[in-house]
Structure 1
Amino acid sequence: MKYVNCLLAVLFVVLSATGPALAHKVNLFAYAEGGTIFTESYFPDGRAVEGGKVLVYDSKDKLLLEGVTDTEGFFNFEIPKADDLNIVIEATMGHKNCFRLKKAEVEAGK
């Protein structure tokens, strides 16, 4: 019985610790097409990241541009340069994620 109680206590701690972390995750997806980079940002429950700050860096971590997501979580921009691009979303309450587009994907989208 002591073993079962210990196991239940450990299970409770593990599940309690991971629940909030998953609830605050933010997702970012990006692709290049027709000379434009299209991004979409959303929370796991499907809500769009409205007014999220988008930062775009090149392969040397130089900031190329920044913008803000619209009410549907979209932010689109012209391809700034043929390079690996690291696209970062900063959502509410400090939630952050990134998406890397490889140079080949960027060039294919021109």
Structure 2
Amino acid sequence: MKLKNTLILALILAIIPASRAIAHKVIIFAWVEDGMIHTESSFGSKRKAKDCTITVVDEKDMVVYTGKTDQDGNHVFKIPENIDSDLILNLDAGTGHKGQWRLSKDELVAVPSPVDIRTAMDEKEKLEKNPSAFKIIGGIGIIFLLALGIRLLKRKAS
């Protein structure tokens, strides 16, 4: 009986952290339009990433801008002056939830066409819909643990 209780507790403890770890994937999406950088941030479930810090760094890891998302998970700011490298936008949504988007140096000066924006939006939606490798591996691990637990319970009952 002690083994059974220990096994059930172990399964519960294994399942809870795995489900919480994959529950809040955060995504930041950015594009350039009319000299401004526009960002849209959300969790994988389409819940908006509100009041989250966005830190923009250049390729030398120098901070060139810091801001916060609004209640809709959006933030707009002017392209920093004298930038001669790609920009990396880091979103910190708290408790270890982080997202990142890279804007190339070419994007910062080019005028995007509506087709480019639509392609980028499609990429964002694809990121939100497709499961990550972590989710797949976590799911397989949970199934394996459950099967192992059932096997041990059957063996103990026999």
Alignment correspondent of 2:74: 74
Deviations 1:39-74 (A, max 9, x none): 011001111110000000011110001000000000
Whether the aligned pair in 2 keeps the contact of 1:36 and 1:109 (CA below 8 Å) is no
Greater length-normalized contact order (CA 8 Å, ≥ 6 residues apart): 1
Q: How large is the RMSD of aligned CA atoms in angstroms?
A: 2.1
Q: How many residues align?
A: 98
Alignment correspondent of 2:110: 108
CA distance in 2, matches of 1:33, 1:23: 32
* 1:71 partner letter: Q
Alignment correspondent of 2:127: none
Give TM-score, length-normalised by structure 1: 0.79
* 2:53 partner letter: K
1:83 maps to 2:85: yes
1:22: Cα distance to partner? Answer: 2.3
Whether the aligned pair in 2 keeps the contact of 1:82 and 1:106 (CA below 8 Å) is no
Alignment correspondent of 1:92: 94
Give TM-score, length-normalised by structure 2: 0.56
The structure whose residues are more often strand, as a share, is 1
Residues 109 and 20 of structure 1: is their aligned pair in 2 closer, same or farther, counting only changes over 3 Å? farther
Residues 21 and 109 of structure 1: is their aligned pair in 2 closer, same or farther, counting only changes over 3 Å? farther
Query: Structure 2: where are the runs of 5+ without partners?
Result: 1-10, 113-158
Whether the aligned pair in 2 keeps the contact of 1:83 and 1:106 (CA below 8 Å) is no
1:93: Cα distance to partner? Answer: 1.7
Q: Which structure: larger Rg?
A: 2
Whether the aligned pair in 2 keeps the contact of 1:57 and 1:64 (CA below 8 Å) is yes
Deviations 1:5-52 (A, max 9, x none): xxxxxxx9xxx4754332121011001110000001100111111000
Identity, % of aligned positions: 39
Residues 57 and 109 of structure 1: is their aligned pair in 2 closer, same or farther, counting only changes over 3 Å? farther
